[in-house]
């Protein structure tokens, strides 16, 4: 593994929910966090939206091969670049990431390529 690749992995992120200046060098040294045992209402809504997107026949056809961002069974954004999908969804809805569900929609490649 080259130094350049490790350096890229440590590049600062611009996520709205991450403190400015944080990088993945410190991420590797930070405490290992555990998901909550009991989901919040926000978590439940987000999960329900993800399940809806994974199951809805129209979503399967229209957004095959893409990430979709969902809130309350409404598609906020879709595309192949997850960060761009998040950004568009947040811009359109004004919602924080924590309230936006993401589902990866299968396409034929998913089933036909081993």
Partner 1 sequence: MLPDIPIVEVRRDYTTDHGRLARACYLRVTAVFATRSGGDVERGMRIDTGAPFSIVPYSLWHDVDLSWQPLGTEFYTPAGVRDPDALAWLGVPCLFGLLQVRLQDEFDQRSKPLRLVAKLPLRAARSHLERAALIGCSFLADNSLTMTVAPHRRTNAGALRNIVGHLTVP
- Which residue lies nearer to partner 1 by CB, 39 or 92? 39
Sign, CA dihedral 53-58-63-65, equals: positive
- Which residue lies nearer to partner 1 by CB, 17 or 94? 17
- Contact set with partner 1 (CB under 8 A): 1-2, 5-6, 8-9, 13, 15, 17-18, 22, 24, 27-39, 43-44, 46-47, 50-51, 54, 65, 67, 82-83, 86, 97-98, 101-104, 106-113
Contact 95, 89 (CB under 8 A): yes
- Which residue lies nearer to partner 1 by CB, 41 or 94? 41
- Please give the angle made by the CA atoms of 44, 45 and 50, to the nearest 5 degrees: 95
- For the CB of residue 45, give the shortest distance to partner 1 in the complex, in Å: 10
Contact 79, 85 (CB under 8 A): yes
- For β-strands 67-71 and 74-79, DSSP reports them as antiparallel
- For the CB of residue 74, give the shortest distance to partner 1 in the complex, in Å: 18
């Amino acid at each position: 593994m080259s130094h350049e690749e490790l350096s890229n992995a440590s590049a600062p992120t611009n996520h709205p929910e991450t403190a400015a200046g944080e990088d993945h060098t410190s991420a590797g040294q930070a405490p290992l966090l555990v998901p909550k045992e009991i989901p919040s209402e926000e978590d439940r809504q987000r999960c329900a939206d993800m399940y809806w997107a994974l199951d809805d026949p129209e979503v399967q056809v229209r957004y095959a091969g893409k990430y979709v961002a969902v809130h309350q069974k409404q598609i906020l954004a879709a595309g192949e670049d997850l960060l761009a999908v998040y950004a568009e969804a947040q811009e359109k809805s004004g919602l924080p990431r924590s309230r936006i569900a993401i589902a990866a929609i299968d396409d034929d490649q998913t089933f036909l390529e081993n």
